[in-house]
Chain A
């Protein structure tokens, strides 16, 4: 965080704050309108991701850091997070019981 940024207005932080509250309200609304299903999960994760991105970029000030830092962190983090999703197919196999379920 540099001096120029500190002297700037607080407006963007309040906008991010309001966006996070709105995202939470949207999630609750969606959860009660569509109780269940893959579409609900996708909507929830999408909204949570948007909220997290706003938090990381503005509240954690990553947007103001050097681009090389952003790229270095983003590439490795997203890669590992993506590889963690390797197990979903197995959870579906367990759920539907085929093949090799028993």
Chain B
């Protein structure tokens, strides 16, 4: 029986059911996240390789820096919770609440990004660039800015997505599925940060 026959018959759907019983856009987001996991894993493994193979790897992070990183982590984890609340509100059909939670998440993410940039400037002021730093191996700057830059790039992309989809959802252009997909991406950013903090910062606390 051809697809056309199925469509004419009216009893069986003309198209094959969605794989794993989830909408196509959500499946695409999951596949994108898996691909992105590989990208981040590649970055972190390369960072770990360099750190492990370099005897004089710098340990530049003072308690003040770690304090700042903890504040950033608190903000990001809290924004992950507000995103969950936004997705729940969207699925329940409460557009006003979903928009409000999405914008709160956006504000948290924006604050995180600003603190991240501030932390970068702090490192640049201490003489860390892509090719050199005051403590020894020149690989440190490149590795540090690559891993944290990748995270920051994702945060900025997530903020743009939250803004566009949040506003679009409020105006009726996007559906709750779109808010949920945005939420998946935002949660992914939070999860990646949970690996970046220990590997990049906590393992390199100044002694």
Contact = CB atoms under 8 A, between A and B. Distances in A.
**Mutual binders A and B:** yes
Contact of B49 (A35, A76, A91): A91
Interface in B54-88: 54-55, 66, 70, 73-74, 77-78, 80-81, 83-85, 87-88
B6 interface: no
Contacts of A76: 34
A51 B190 CA distance: 10
Nearest to B45: A84
B35 to A, nearest CB: 10
B10 interface: no
Contacts of A84: 41-42, 45
Contacts, number: 128
Interface in A37-84: 40-41, 44-45, 47-48, 51-52, 55-56, 59-60, 65-66, 68-69, 72-73, 76-77, 80-81, 84
Contacts of B207: 35-36
A100 interface: no
B194 A52 contact: yes
A95 interface: yes
Nearest to A32: B205
Contact of B190 (A7, A31, A41, A55): A55
Contact of A59 (B30, B187, B202, B203): B187
B184 interface: yes
Interface in B18-54: 20-22, 30, 34, 37-38, 41-42, 45, 48-50, 52-54
A31 B194 contact: no
Contacts of A60: 183-184, 187-188, 191
Contacts of A95: 52-55
B52 A51 contact: no
A92 interface: yes
14 contacts: A20-B77, A21-B77, A35-B205, A36-B207, A41-B203, A44-B203, A45-B199, A55-B80, A55-B187, A55-B190, A60-B184, A72-B20, A91-B50, A91-B52
Given A66-B21, A91-B52, 7 more contacts: A10-B88, A28-B202, A44-B203, A60-B183, A81-B37, A90-B53, A92-B53
